[in-house]
């Protein structure tokens, strides 16, 4: 029979897992919405400027991915925090039962090095990781196109 503390921990673990899944889905949707918003905004700017290219197109092309990057990084940051909480609960459950609880991905829900790093390191990790490549790609492409426009190579 499970103790009250154990029941509460299992409920918390389940709820945190649900929250992490929702944030993960949110982050994926943010990426899709970024690309959609970017193309819509550039279309609007080109319409306003009578389809004449100017610096405003490139400013919009830079600001939109940067704003979505920040939003996505915030979601990623909180996913890591929640997974750290899940790991702590898992450890408590294992200590109480005397067994080792294994997650689907191995022994840890998240590496302790990711949750115990300094606040600055965790913020940097949230902003610069493998899931943020789409924003970097959009920013680099925009800056490259802007440089070509500024130098007269595209008009």
CA–CA–CA angle 51, 53, 57 (5° rounding) = 100
Asked if residue 109 is part of any domain, the answer here is: yes
Residue 155 lies in a domain: no
Residue 111 has pLDDT above 60, yes or no: yes
Q: Is residue 63 a part of any domain in this protein?
A: yes
What range defines the domain where residue 38 resides?
Answer: 4-150
Q: What is the predicted pLDDT for the residue at 27?
A: 97
Is residue 31 within 8 Å of 71, Cβ to Cβ? Answer: no
Instruction: State the pLDDT at residue 92.
Output: 87
As given in the structure block, the two tokens for residue 81 are 């925090």
Using CA atoms, how far apart are residues 39 and 61, in angstroms rounded to an integer?
A: 9
130 in any annotated domain: yes
Residue 153 has pLDDT above 80, yes or no: yes
pLDDT > 70? residue 102: no
User: Do the Cβ atoms of 55 and 63 come closer than 8 Å?
Assistant: no
105 pLDDT exceeds 80?
Answer: no
**pLDDT for 98:** 75
Stretch 98-120: mean pLDDT: 76
65 in any annotated domain: yes
- Split into its structural domains, the chain has a count of 1
* Mean pLDDT for the stretch of residues 141-145: 98
Q: Does residue 10 sit within a domain? A: yes
Q: Does residue 12 fall inside a structural domain?
A: yes
When pLDDT is averaged across residues 133-155 and rounded to a whole number, the result is 96
Cβ pair 92, 9 in contact under 8 A: yes
């Amino acid at each position: 029979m499970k103790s009250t503390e154990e029941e509460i921990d299992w409920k918390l673990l389940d709820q945190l897992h649900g929250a992490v899944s929702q944030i993960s889905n949110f982050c994926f949707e943010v990426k899709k919405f970024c690309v959609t918003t970017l193309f819509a905004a550039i279309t609007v700017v080109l319409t306003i400027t009578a389809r004449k290219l100017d610096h405003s197109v490139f400013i919009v092309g830079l600001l939109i991915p940067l704003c979505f990057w920040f939003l996505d990084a915030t979601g990623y940051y909180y996913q890591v925090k929640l997974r750290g909480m899940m790991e702590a609960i898992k450890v408590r459950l294992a200590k109480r039962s005397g067994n080792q609880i294994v997650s689907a991905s191995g022994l840890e829900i998240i590496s302790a090095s990711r949750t115990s790093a300094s606040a600055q390191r965790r913020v940097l990790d949230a902003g610069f990781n493998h899931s943020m490549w789409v924003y970097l790609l959009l920013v680099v492409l925009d800056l490259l196109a802007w440089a070509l426009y500024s130098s007269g190579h595209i008009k």
